[in-house]
């Protein structure tokens, strides 16, 4: 049974989500502020946090940054009433796995939770899928450990959202993927016409992989999407 921590200063939202998620088979804890959130993370070891961006004693974005640095295995879905796309993009850059704007339907939140846990190994997956490792452009990728290493053995630090995006390309080498498809495959949702998160994540992924011309790792197709432009092989991580 996956353990979900709900962090929101609105008691009605906390109680509503607790009842609904428990009805969907999750174990649920709640917290009203940053202090309680940190205590629940320390004591309860949740698998995923549903985290409101606006809290009375601090920003959910700051909590997200801290958790990503100290507990990178912990999955995070941000709740935000803010309309600006930049806030959502910042959340992804800081390590959040997904975000959901208020007001929202609890059924959609459950779908997002299940999608994040499924992508990151928090729910049962075929063992063979997790045993795969990939090689491309001098990099080794171990999906089971969610680890990327360069040719010199150094580890490339990727956020959860960046790793999920890279994995989608590695599982579909050479295939042209639209932004709509990438959003659906990585975040389990249809594209908002104003959503720039995929473009931002692509830019960050290219920078972290030190992509250089004239042999780019990814190809951008105008009005088409993105494509992994290098061969992919199966292999083991170098020790």
Q: What is the pLDDT of residue 37?
A: 92
Please state the rounded mean pLDDT for residues 74-84.
Answer: 79
Architecture, CATH, for domain 132-236: Orthogonal Bundle (1.10)
Fold of domain 3-121: Rossmann fold (3.40.50)
Numbered ranges of CATH 1.10.10.10 in the chain: 132-236
Ranges 6-10, 44-48, 86-90, 204-208, most confident: 6-10
Q: What is the pLDDT of residue 47?
A: 92
User: CA–CA distance from 139 to each of 21, 110, 135, 218, 230 (Å)?
Assistant: 39, 34, 6, 14, 11
pLDDT digits (tens, 9 = 90+) for 5-38: 999 999 999 999 999 999 999 999 999 999 999 8
Specify which residues 5 forms β-bridges with: 29, 49
Q: Is a pLDDT exceeding 60 seen at residue 148?
A: yes
Q: What is the pLDDT of residue 93?
A: 75
Numbered ranges of CATH 3.40.50.2300 in the chain: 3-121
Phi and psi (nearest 5°) for 17?
Answer: -70, -35
First-last CA distance in the chain: 33
For residue 216, is it left (φ>0), alpha (ψ between -120 and 50) or beta? beta
pLDDT grade for 237, boundaries at 50, 70 and 90:
very low
pLDDT digits (tens, 9 = 90+) for 179-189: 888 887 776 65
* pTM, entire model: 0.60
pLDDT digits (tens, 9 = 90+) for 115-137: 888 876 655 444 444 457 899 98
Please state the rounded mean pLDDT for residues 41-61.
Answer: 88
């Amino acid at each position: 049974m996956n353990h979900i921590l709900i962090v929101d200063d609105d008691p009605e939202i906390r109680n509503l989500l607790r009842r609904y998620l428990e009805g969907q088979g999750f174990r649920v804890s709640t917290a009203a502020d940053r202090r309680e959130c940190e205590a629940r993370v320390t004591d309860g070891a949740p698998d995923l946090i549903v985290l409101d961006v606006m809290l009375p004693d601090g920003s959910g974005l700051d909590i997200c940054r801290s958790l990503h640095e100290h507990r990178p295995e912990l999955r995070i879905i941000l709740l935000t009433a803010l309309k600006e796309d930049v806030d959502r993009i910042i959340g992804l850059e800081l390590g959040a796995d997904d975000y959901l704007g208020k007001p929202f339907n609890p059924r959609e939140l459950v779908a997002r939770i299940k999608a994040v846990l499924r992508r990151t190994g928090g729910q049962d997956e075929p063992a063979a899928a997790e045993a795969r490792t990939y090689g491309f452009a001098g990099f080794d990728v171990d999906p089971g450990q969610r680890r990327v290493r360069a040719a010199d053995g150094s580890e490339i630090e990727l956020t959860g959202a960046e790793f999920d995006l890279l994995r989608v390309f590695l599982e579909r080498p050479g295939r042209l993927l639209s932004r709509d498809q990438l959003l659906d495959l990585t975040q389990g949702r249809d594209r908002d016409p104003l959503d720039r998160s995929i473009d931002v994540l692509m830019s960050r992924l290219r920078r972290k992989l030190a992509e250089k011309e004239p042999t780019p790792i990814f190809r951008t197709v105008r009005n088409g999407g993105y494509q992994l432009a290098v061969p992919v092989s199966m292999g083991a991580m170098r020790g």
